[in-house]
Structure 1
Amino acid sequence: MAATTLDLRNVPPAERHPRIHEAFDDLDSGEALELVNDHEPKPLFYEMQAEVDAFDADGYEVEQRGPTEYVARLPKR
């Protein structure tokens, strides 16, 4: 599965979700958006699950790689 990576650690919080949604919309079916973040993106998971039909919640993964580094994979159906 191809993935597009978006590093959000230096993006102001107010700009993060719009950028995520824009990048996710640009994906083709079967691709995934990989996010690098400074916190666990649990609220984003619930937002995507509730609002984005193409989001594959069952395929969602998140890994903590350090105290302030989380990598989440958001697959698109």
Structure 2
Amino acid sequence: MSRFNAQVDARIYSPKEKHAVIFDTFNNLKSGEEMELLNDHDPKPLHYQFLAEYTEQFEWEYLEQGPEVWRVAIKKK
């Protein structure tokens, strides 16, 4: 069984849809649950957006850092 409660493969969404899908998925998590994010580049700008909008409400863990695929575990506190 996967450790993740949800997964978003951002590679399949258009740039304008990506963040909305990611934040919707995060908002639907319960406290203590985790989502896995897959992307084709380092999602550092997204991390900064999480820091600004969800201060102290999440944990961010890189699982794989390219060069072709980035995987991030995002846990809701």
TM-score, normalised relative to structure 1? 0.84
Following superposition, the deviation at residue 2 of structure 1 comes to 3.9
SS in 1 for 2:11: coil
Amino acid at match of 1:72: V
8 Å CA contact retained: 2:4, 2:36: no
1:2 touches 1:30 (CA, 8 Å); kept in 2?
no
Tell me how far 1:3 sits from its aligned partner. Answer: 3.1
Q: In the alignment, is the contact (CA less than 8 A) between 1:7 and 1:37 conserved in 2? A: yes
Q: Which residue does 2:24 correspond to in 1?
A: 22
CA distance in 1, matches of 2:74, 2:36: 6
User: CA offset at residue 24 of structure 1?
Assistant: 0.4
* 2:67 paired residue number: 67
Q: Percent identity?
A: 39
The alignment covers a number of residue pairs equal to 74
Q: Structure 1 stretches (4+) deviating beyond 6 angstroms?
A: none
TM-score by length of 2: 0.84
Within the candidate set 3, 8, 11, 2:10 is matched to 8
| 1:35 to partner: Cα distance | 0.4
TM-align CA RMSD? 1.6
Structure 2 runs not aligned, ≥5 long = none
